Amino acid sequence: MFRQATIFLLILTTLTANCSRFFVIAGFELNKKYIVSNLCENRNRPYLHCNGKCYFMKKIRQSEENEKKEAAKDNLNRLEVSFFYETFKLSFPEPVLLTGIEQYFPVYTYQYTSRYLSTIFRPPKQAA
């Protein structure tokens, strides 16, 4: 139950933050008679046929300004961190040539023999 209430509350707050203009319009339509009779700036001049639109436009501008302020706050809260670093240079030391020192390696000689190998491995005979 608590989990469902939390999910519902999070969805409602997300919609409220994104749809504030919708709530202003809905509030105007639901309370139109009260706004026309009590809150309208032109209620004393019925020949203008304002019908509370002046109050409605004022509230719309107010909600737009609030949205701009919220966007400015969001931009201030973002912190941009830039990392500058020197490029890494991979370098290898040059090979050193040893001169004057001569090394002699003995010539490789195959000195191992086995009777076993020579008795098993024979070339194939031609059948002619």
For residue 114, being part of any structural domain is answered with no
* pLDDT for res 17: 65
Which pLDDT score, from 0 to 100, does residue 6 have?
A: 92
Give the range of the structural domain holding residue 70, as residue numbers without chain letter. 2-77
The rounded distance, in Å, linking the Cα atoms of 123 and 38 is 118
Dihedral class, residue 82 (left if φ above 0, else alpha if ψ from -120 to 50, else beta): beta
Does a structural domain hold residue 64?
A: yes
- Residue 32: the pLDDT is 86
Domains identified in the chain, total number: 1
Place 56 in a pLDDT band, splitting at 50, 70 and 90: confident
In a domain, 126, yes or no: no
Q: Is the pLDDT of residue 128 over 60?
A: no
List the structure tokens of 1: 């139950």
Structural domain includes residue 110: no
What pLDDT does residue 94 have?
86
Share of the chain above pLDDT 90, in %: 1
For residue 95, tell me if it sits in a domain.
no
What's residue 80's pLDDT? Answer: 67
pTM (2 d.p.): 0.45
Residue 15 lies in a domain: yes
Q: Is position 89 within any domain? A: no
